[in-house]
Amino acid sequence: MGLLSIIRKIKRKEKEMRILMVGLDNSGKTTIVLRINGEDTSVISPTLGFNIKTIKYEKYTLNIWDVGGQRTIRSYWRNYFEQTDGLVWVVDSSDVRRLDDCKMELDNLLKEERLSGASLLILANKQDIQGALTPNEIAKVLNLGAMDKTRHWKIVGCSAYTGEGLLEGFNWLVQDIASRIYVLD
């Protein structure tokens, strides 16, 4: 985040945050967004392209970009990196076989310079499914401990099915972004 964009945001009356949701296909990104927005989650097709949701949270306006995770369209993620304040990486905690894939894609994402200032929330989704890996186990597999020390990050277990953990995760993300950007309030 450049100084100029920080100043611009301070000046802006409406306190907006741009949040990018990414992760492998079948991790539950769209379901999470619809769940926190209180919408029906029973009919969700795999995302072809992206969805944008604007959600009011406390005094902030969150612009959530939910981008499809199918392999064919992962290369388009980069088109959404610009001006991102918060990054949400969603993991299917029951999909043990593809955790390698998941780690590789996350590592690639974190190398991206345009995302270097973004706060990172990792949602270990599908905790309601028996046998899902715990957030701690996911953190170990993704080797989050070795992350760049300047990165603000947190991993939270959640279930888009029951709604558990979502508020905790997004609350941390919003407060963390606010403490960096709206520091003068």
Binding residues for Mg(2+): 30, 47
Using the rule CB under 8 A, which residue among 7, 10, 52, 129 binds other proteins? Answer: 129
Element holding 22 (H helix, E strand): strand 15-23
Residue 70 among the catalytic residues: yes
Q: Which residues are annotated as a binding site?
A: 23-30, 47, 69, 125-128
| Residue 147 binds to other proteins (criterion: CB under 8 A) | no
Q: Which two tokens stand for residue 160?
A: 């888009």
Distance of closest approach, residue 10 Cβ to other proteins, in angstroms: 31
What would the 3-class secondary structure string for 71-95 be? HHHHHHHHHHCCCCCEEEEEEECCC
Residue number, 84 or 125, with CB nearest to other proteins = 125
Burial state string for 109-147 with b = 16 or more CB within 10 A and e = fewer than 16: bbeeeebebbbbbbbbbbbbeeebbebeebbeebebeee
Residue listed under structure tokens 């186990």: 137
| Residue 150 binds to other proteins (criterion: CB under 8 A) | no
Residues 56-95 that bind other proteins (CB under 8 A): 70-73, 94-95
Residues that bind other proteins (CB under 8 A): 25-26, 42-46, 48, 70-73, 94-97, 99-100, 103, 126, 128-133, 137, 140-141, 143, 146, 161
